[in-house]
Structure 1
Amino acid sequence: MSTRGQQVITQIREGIAEGRFPGGARLNEADVAARLGVSRTPVRNALSVLAAQGLLDYTPNAGYAVRRFTAKDIAQIFRVRTELEGLAAGMAAENGLDDPTIALLHDIMAQTARLVALRQWDAQVQQMFLPLNRTFHEQIRAAAKNPFLIDMIHKTNDVPLFDLIRWRWFNANLLRQTHDEHGELLDALLNQQSRRAHRIQSEHTYRSGRRMIENWSLTETETRATL
């Protein structure tokens, strides 16, 4: 795909995340092209890609529309996810961590500590932190040794909008808080404290969900005010 084509995809994705293309809005190829100052070809390709990613709905003879997500949708998903993530952490603590997993989690904590020490949150820090955060939680889920549980957690994570908005309102203070919570969770896992691990992970997931819900509610309100 050309650089221009990727830029158009990024612009539309950001427009959805920021509410400029609100849920339910029809995306007419010609109108979007004019709005972005590009030809219709990259827009046509971008709409197809974003539909495949689940951000747009396509209806024959009607075209593309932004998929609707509400704060209530996010709340319902996180209510389930909070329980599942907590259960996985508790099971991981019961099972105990093997030496390679312990070494990897300690390394992730050390790398995250260096990012926290920068006392900033920008695109570069985010790019470094996201894979560390993802691997940290993936290792804990794997340690639960329950493929059915892991599959259910993946389904609650597989919401395209989340990838767009999850980190929009993050900052250096939240990075430090996340690092501290990861440290508490790791301590519970190392000491095989199942109930404590369950509680820490559940609270960690709950707080993440609340931030997303509150900020997405604000985005919805601001979007309605401009319509």
Structure 2
Amino acid sequence: MGEKGGTAAESATAMLREMILAGELRPGARVHQDHLSEDLGLSRTPLRTAMATLARDGLLDYEANRGYRVKQFSVDSIRSVFEIRSVLESQACRAAARRGIGRGVLDTMDALVRRGDELLSVGRLDPDRLPPYRKMNVDFHNCILEAAQNPWLRDFVDRTHNVPMVSDRVILWDDYDVIYRSHDDHHRIARALRRGDGERAALVMYEHVAYAGELLVTRLEADPDAAFKLLSAGAEPPLAMSAD
């Protein structure tokens, strides 16, 4: 029983964390435990544990007599964290190239790039293809971080990914030209690392992350409601939250 309960709580925590970091649960929105229980097919006990865990991790705020809300970060904070993330992930490229990347890791990166090609082959990124594309993106970035073999660097990058809207899980999937450019960066980074050119890979990675941040901040400043509606459109099942 204890093991099953622990597994359910861990699963609930992972699912909620993913939804928050991907922007599917809007910052400031109240999280409804009953709705989540029904939507995710989980009992209330592991959900309560998950919410408490995510509150300790700084992703949820608890309000007495009102429950949990997704933690809010200002647009300036999001912009600042993207600046840090772009520097850190570019340094990961340098570190990975300097240490030497094994053939198996390079082959994995190439396979991930090909997976992205397949998902974009229809000339757009439909909502049903968003989850696998997001996974490809996360795995690609993680592959480089693991190849860097620097636990301190990984820890600091993970901290930036723990800020909603800054994580590599956030995909503005409605603009194919932007998605295509972003995935072309993956190609360029993989090619540079295969050649052992850490500086070139670092330059592309810096631009890759910085551009994503600039685009997201522009969207948030222009029409935050539209930006969050877009991010939540790829969520399945419907999101259990409200702005009250």
TM-score norm. by structure 2 comes to 0.68
SS at match of 1:57: strand
Contact 1:86 1:202 in 2 (8 A): yes
- TM-superposed deviation, 1:209: 1.0
Contact 1:57 1:64 in 2 (8 A): yes
**Counterpart residue number, 1:200:** 204
**Counterpart residue number, 1:88:** 92
Q: Which amino acid aligns with 1:199?
A: L
User: 2:184 aligned to 180, 184, 197, which one?
Assistant: 180
SS at match of 1:121: coil
Paired positions, count: 207
SS at match of 2:171: coil
What's the RMSD between the two structures over aligned residues? 3.9
SS at match of 1:68: coil
Contact 2:90 2:206 in 1 (8 A): yes
The range that moved more, 79-88 or 161-170, is 161-170
Q: Unpaired runs of 5+ in structure 2?
A: 1-11, 228-244
- TM-superposed deviation, 1:220: 4.5
Q: Give the whole-Å Cα distance in 2 for the aligned partners of 1:109 and 1:151.
A: 25
- Matched-pair identity in %: 26
**Counterpart residue number, 2:115:** 111
Residues 133 and 169 of structure 1: CA distance in aligned 2, closer, same or farther (over 3 Å): closer
**Counterpart residue number, 2:159:** 155
Q: Which amino acid aligns with 2:161?
A: N
Q: Deviations over 1:182-226 (max 9, x none)?
A: 111111111111221111111101011111211122344889xxx
Q: Give the whole-Å Cα distance in 2 for the aligned partners of 1:183 and 1:220.
A: 31
Confirm or deny that 1:217 pairs with 2:217: no
Q: Give the whole-Å Cα distance in 2 for the aligned partners of 1:170 and 1:100.
A: 33
Contact 2:189 2:205 in 1 (8 A): yes
Residues 203 and 139 of structure 1: CA distance in aligned 2, closer, same or farther (over 3 Å): same
**Counterpart residue number, 1:53:** 54
Q: Give the whole-Å Cα distance in 2 for the aligned partners of 1:221 and 1:28.
A: 18
- TM-superposed deviation, 1:112: 1.3
Q: Which amino acid aligns with 2:123?
A: R
Contact 1:86 1:199 in 2 (8 A): yes
The range that moved more, 47-56 or 205-214, is 47-56
Contact 2:173 2:179 in 1 (8 A): no
Larger radius of gyration: 1
- TM-superposed deviation, 1:86: 0.6
Structure 1 or 2: more helix by fraction: 1
